Amino acid sequence: MTAGIPIVVDACVLINLEATGHLDAIVRMLDLDMVVTEPARAEVGSLRGEVDGITQTFPIQLEHHIGSGALTVTALKPEELSTYVELALELGDGEASSIAVAANRGLAIATDDRKARRVSLERGLAEPKRTTRILRDYCNRARCESPVVRGLLQAIQHRASFVPPRSDPDHDWWRTHIGE
């Protein structure tokens, strides 16, 4: 970890940010220490892409981001295991471990999962960040031109199949920039 703002990301947010092709730049621009739990890392699968006009899936390789310091993988501490097991009864392993780590270590969390956001608030965590808020903050700070923003959002839609729900506070920002 570097000296940035620590935030635990679950698999869905990590996949979406990786789909942009700018994960390291986003982490640097926002001065984040992005942390992923081992169970959440195990849920990070693949992204779609095209080769010669044929859509294919490609496994996500996080090693580069770990090596660059943009991402830290963490194991659960013994004192986090009981919370993790309890939460895993109602959430996926990645979300459960992310909330257990964030709650125990007093860290912020990022998730797009509605149930995980609700459970995070019930556990006394601050409102979880979402993919859209992270991207909006990045684009504002980097002063991205509209075509750049559109490209980032389209990459997430096409490569990760993510579109924010209407309940997302930044849904209108997304729609404006994606051109819908």
Q: Is the distance from CB of 76 to CB of 21 less than 8 angstroms?
A: no
List pLDDT tens digits, range 29-55: 999 999 999 999 999 999 998 888 888
Q: Is the distance from CB of 168 to CB of 174 less than 8 angstroms?
A: yes
Length of the chain: 180
Residue by residue, DSSP assigns 112-180 as --HHHHHHHHHTTPPPPB-HHHHHHHHHHHHT--HHHHHHHHHHHHHHH-----TTSTTHHHHHHHHT-
DSSP 50: E
Spans of all domains in the chain: 1-180
Per the DSSP assignment, residues forming a β-bridge with 6 are 33
pTM for the whole structure: 0.93
Q: What separation in angstroms does the CA of 20 have from each of 53, 75, 123, 161?
A: 19, 26, 31, 12
Q: Is the distance from CB of 62 to CB of 19 less than 8 angstroms?
A: no
The CATH number assigned to the domain with range 1-180 reads 3.40.50.1010
Whole-angstrom distance, CA of residue 29 vs CA of residue 10: 20
- Picking from 18, 12, 17, the residue whose alpha carbon sits closest to that of residue 58 is 18
List pLDDT tens digits, range 91-146: 999 999 999 999 999 999 999 999 999 999 999 999 999 999 999 999 999 999 99
List pLDDT tens digits, range 47-94: 998 888 888 999 999 999 999 999 999 999 999 999 999 999 999 999
Q: What separation in angstroms does the CA of 85 have from each of 78, 95, 99, 110, 169?
A: 11, 11, 11, 20, 31
